[in-house]
């Protein structure tokens, strides 16, 4: 072989290097085939498949392992699922429900305390007696309402529950003298015993009827001085059965008022001004009978004179009630009575302010044109004559001029 054609040492070494490089390339190509097993570094980089298990050489959390592709950034692992945020609507609903729960609890505590306190006497130290009228057929609920209205108990509702829970049911109608210092049990037992058929006075008292006062004023005085209420007295003034009983006792006195029309109160002017003692167990009717009896005693000397003058007791008491309020002294009363008689003879209206104030049911210092035009038959500015009847309770001095 020719020396020049012989490969040199360097060429031989280059040939070996090329062969080695080719084998290495073949090895890399084989490693990338699907059937080839991934290297340790490949397993660490592709850890997001979910099937790969970390090897013993796994790097600490948060440290990225070196890669064989020049250090490129691996995929970011998914965040751990957190607690879902509450919407604004849910927060509002929870807040409202919380407030309602608190209100219910507070209200429940308040009601419980009120319920407990309502079972105690309304005023443990009160000595005032209040007359209470329990009507026939009233339910325990109605009775409780009446007692609350009369300030005997704190709550009618609690009273109703109390008596039912303790089987107090056999209550009887009538008039009762009760106190706000009584317990619910004491009140219930009293209602089971029964009351009186008429209003009565449970303690001794006095009633002063002043000259020139009206029945509505007497009602206020009676309510302040006795166990009788204002409404009971005014109701009695409208009781026709009671009026018939009085008429049988005092026919000369009451005959003209019983036949008068458009009268507000038939006993207006017939309750004589005086001080009356109201004894224990005295009824309201008995008290009124005393007042009417005193008027009858005062008028008895004048019955023949009134008949001779062709007048009625109603007319005399009407003029006397006007004179009582229009004048001050006996001289005034005589002059005013003379003026009234002259106007009646001439068919003129009496033109008394007292009559107008009674007609409008108000006391006024100055009457208006509208007041003077009132259509009430008691308005003696507008209508002539005596009117329906007296305007107040006149004194004996105001009766004498007639």
- Asked if the structure places residue 31 within a domain, the reply is no
Same domain, 389 and 312: yes
- Domain of residue 148 covers 130-193
Domain of 138, CATH number, reads 3.30.1490.480
Phi, psi of 175 (to 5 degrees): -100, 130
Burial of 70 from C-beta contacts in 10 A (0-12 / 13-18 / 19+):
exposed
Same domain, 307 and 358: yes
pLDDT at 299: 96
Same domain, 295 and 313: no
Query: What are the Cα distances from residue 272, in Å, to 44, 143, 321, 398?
Result: 122, 36, 12, 12
- Asked if the structure places residue 215 within a domain, the reply is yes
Same domain, 321 and 394: yes
Number of domains making up the chain: 3
pLDDT at 81: 59
- Asked if the structure places residue 109 within a domain, the reply is no
pLDDT at 80: 57
Which residue, 142, 160, 193, sits at the end of a domain? 193
pLDDT at 110: 67
Which residue, 241, 271, 299, sits at the end of a domain? 299
User: How long a stretch of residues is the chain?
Assistant: 402
Same domain, 223 and 241: yes
Same domain, 290 and 307: no
Dist. CA 100–CA 94, nearest whole Å: 10
- Asked if the structure places residue 44 within a domain, the reply is no
pLDDT at 400: 81
Same domain, 253 and 281: yes
For 208, residues 6+ apart whose C-beta sits below 8 A from its C-beta are 221, 225, 274, 275, 276
- Asked if the structure places residue 78 within a domain, the reply is no
- Asked if the structure places residue 46 within a domain, the reply is no
Same domain, 145 and 230: no
pLDDT at 126: 87
Same domain, 315 and 286: no
pTM: 0.65
Which residue, 231, 264, 299, sits at the end of a domain? 299
Residue pLDDT tens, the chain, 402 long: 444 444 444 444 444 444 444 444 444 444 444 444 444 444 443 344 444 444 444 444 444 545 445 455 556 666 555 556 677 777 788 778 778 877 777 777 765 666 666 667 878 888 888 889 999 999 999 999 999 999 999 988 889 988 998 888 789 999 999 999 999 999 999 999 999 988 998 888 899 999 999 999 999 999 999 989 899 999 999 999 999 999 999 999 999 999 999 999 999 999 999 999 999 889 999 999 999 999 999 999 999 999 999 999 999 999 999 999 887 777 788 889 899 999 999 999 999 999 999 999 998 888 999 999 999 999 999 999 999 999 999 998 888 866
Answer yes or no: are the C-beta atoms of 37 and 25 closer than 8 Å: no
Same domain, 270 and 323: no
Would you state the structure tokens that stand for residue 6, as one six-digit string? 């012989």
């Amino acid at each position: 072989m020719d020396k020049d054609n012989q490969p040199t040492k360097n060429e031989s070494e280059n040939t070996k290097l090329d062969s080695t490089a080719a084998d290495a390339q073949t090895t890399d190509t084989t490693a990338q085939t699907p059937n080839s097993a991934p290297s340790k570094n490949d397993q660490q980089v592709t850890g997001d498949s979910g099937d790969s298990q970390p090897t013993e050489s796994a790097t600490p959390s948060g440290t990225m392992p070196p890669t064989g592709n020049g250090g490129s950034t691996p995929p970011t692992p998914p965040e751990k699922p957190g607690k879902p945020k509450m919407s604004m609507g849910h927060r509002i609903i929870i807040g409202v429900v919380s407030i309602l729960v608190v209100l219910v609890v507070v209200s429940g505590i308040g009601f419980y305390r009120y319920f407990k306190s309502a079972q105690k006497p309304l005023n443990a130290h009160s000595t005032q007696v209040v007359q209470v009228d329990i009507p026939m057929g009233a339910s325990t609920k109605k009775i409780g309402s009446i007692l609350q209205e009369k300030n005997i108990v704190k709550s009618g509702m609690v009273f109703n529950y109390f008596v039912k829970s303790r089987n107090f049911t056999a209550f009887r109608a009538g008039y009762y003298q009760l106190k706000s210092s009584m317990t619910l049990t004491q009140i219930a037992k009293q209602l089971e015993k029964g009351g009186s058929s008429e209003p009565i006075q449970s303690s001794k008292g006095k009633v002063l009827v002043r000259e020139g006062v009206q029945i509505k004023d007497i009602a206020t005085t009676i309510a302040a001085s006795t166990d009788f209420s204002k409404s009971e007295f005014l109701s009695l003034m409208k009781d026709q059965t009671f009026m018939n009983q009085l008429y049988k006792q005092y026919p000369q006195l009451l005959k003209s008022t019983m036949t008068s029309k458009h009268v507000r109160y038939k006993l207006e002017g017939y309750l004589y001004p005086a001080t009356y003692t109201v004894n224990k167990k005295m009824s309201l009717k008995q008290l009124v009978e005393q007042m009417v009896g005193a008027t009858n005693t005062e008028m008895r000397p004048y019955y023949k004179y009134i008949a001779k003058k062709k007048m009625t007791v109603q007319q005399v008491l009407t003029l006397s009630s006007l004179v009582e309020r229009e004048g001050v002294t006996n001289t005034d009363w005589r002059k005013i009575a003379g003026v009234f008689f002259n106007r009646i003879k001439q068919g003129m209206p009496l033109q008394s302010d007292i009559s107008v104030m009674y007609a409008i049911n108000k006391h006024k210092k100055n009457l208006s044109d509208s007041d003077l035009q009132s259509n009430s038959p008691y308005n003696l500015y507008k209508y002539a004559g005596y009117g329906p009847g007296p305007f107040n309770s006149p004194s004996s001095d105001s009766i004498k001029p007639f």
